[in-house]
Structure 1
Amino acid sequence: MKRFTMAAAFAVLAAPAFADGHASTQGDAVAGEEQFNRQCVACHVVQDASGEVLAGRNAKTGPNLYGIAGRTIGSVDGFRYGDSIVDVGKADGVWTEETFVGYVQDPTGWLRATLEDRRARGKMAYQVRDESQAYDLYAYLSTFGEEEAEATN
């Protein structure tokens, strides 16, 4: 568990280095699209700033995943996050491949380790069981919003 805590802490601290919108990933975006359509669409949508739904079914249970790569954790305007994930964002936590994969595999466990608070809780109950699928999901989701990220750099 100590090794996981160290890895999670490093990922959060190193996150600003990846915040330029250039997501490096070891996943497969094509496989990630398939996984998104199986595992994520019930709760999440990928919707751009103009309101166009690019993936999903306009679900509102979870936050919009558009532009997740490099975004501050817990920062989608108008979404009601749990306190723990907001606290990670306030501590400069950014969605990187490492933070995303760790979070989606065990949301509450990841939050507890990252915040070093055994009472931290996540609202996301679903867990992506297969690590390679989590990497694939990140590869897919990181393709959305790249143009805007590149335009602002």
Structure 2
Amino acid sequence: MVRTAIAIAVLLLSGGGALAQGGDAALGETVFKKCMSCHAAGEGATNKVGPVLTGVVGRAAGTYEGFNYSQAMKDAGAGGLVWTPENLAQFLAKPRDFVKGTKMSFAGLAKPEDAMNVIAYLASLSPPPAQ
């Protein structure tokens, strides 16, 4: 866990706000297959056990319409948590450590590069951030 946190910190410091651009969306789509048992993304996606992840980059946590989030995730969003590439990287490494009380049962992506690639894939399905 410490090595993963250090690797993410190094990636964040080296990539800054361009974290999603540092990943490979095509590789991320492949890694995203691990997520597909609970999440959907892309045109026509619907909520499953987890919320739709189309447009997640830049969205406030716990706000996708029609999904029944944990109170912890709703509170995180109400408290200002937005799914930036940096926040997603931390969440994808250890979801239950990043949002205590989340319903997400996935333990996390062990490799920081997998997280970066998934974030790049999800960013490709998200509108560009407002300037």
Q: TM range, normalised to the smaller chain? A: 0.7 to 0.9
Distance in structure 2 (CA, Å) of the matches to 1:33 and 1:76: 21
Contact 2:47 / 2:67 at 8 angstroms: preserved in 1? no
Distance in structure 2 (CA, Å) of the matches to 1:84 and 1:100: 16
SS in 2 for 1:46: coil
Gaps of 5+ in 2: 6-11
Q: Does 1:145 align with 2:126?
A: yes
Runs of 4+ residues deviating >4 angstroms:
none
Match of 1:81 in 2: 69
1:141/1:71 CA distance change after superposition, 3 Å? same
Distance in structure 1 (CA, Å) of the matches to 2:25 and 2:42: 17
Task: Report how far residue 99 of structure 1 moved.
Answer: 0.6
Bigger CA radius of gyration: 1
Match of 1:29 in 2: 25
SS in 1 for 2:59: coil
SS in 1 for 2:103: coil
Task: Report how far residue 25 of structure 1 moved.
Answer: 3.0
What amino acid is the match of 2:75?
A: D
Q: Does 1:42 align with 2:37?
A: yes
Distance in structure 1 (CA, Å) of the matches to 2:51 and 2:31: 17
Identity %: 28
What amino acid is the match of 2:36?
A: V
Distance in structure 2 (CA, Å) of the matches to 1:59 and 1:78: 8
Q: Does 1:122 align with 2:111?
A: no
Distance in structure 2 (CA, Å) of the matches to 1:130 and 1:25: 17
1:91 to 79, 98, 114: 79
Distance in structure 2 (CA, Å) of the matches to 1:26 and 1:78: 32
SS in 1 for 2:124: coil
Q: Deviations over 1:61-107 (max 9, x none)?
A: 11000101111111001101111111110011110111111111111
Q: Does 1:64 align with 2:64?
A: no
Q: Deviations over 1:33-59 (max 9, x none)?
A: 11012x1111110144xxx24xxxx56
Distance in structure 1 (CA, Å) of the matches to 2:93 and 2:19: 19
Superposition RMSD on alpha carbons, in Å? Answer: 2.8
The alignment's TM-score, normalised by the length of structure 1, stands at 0.67
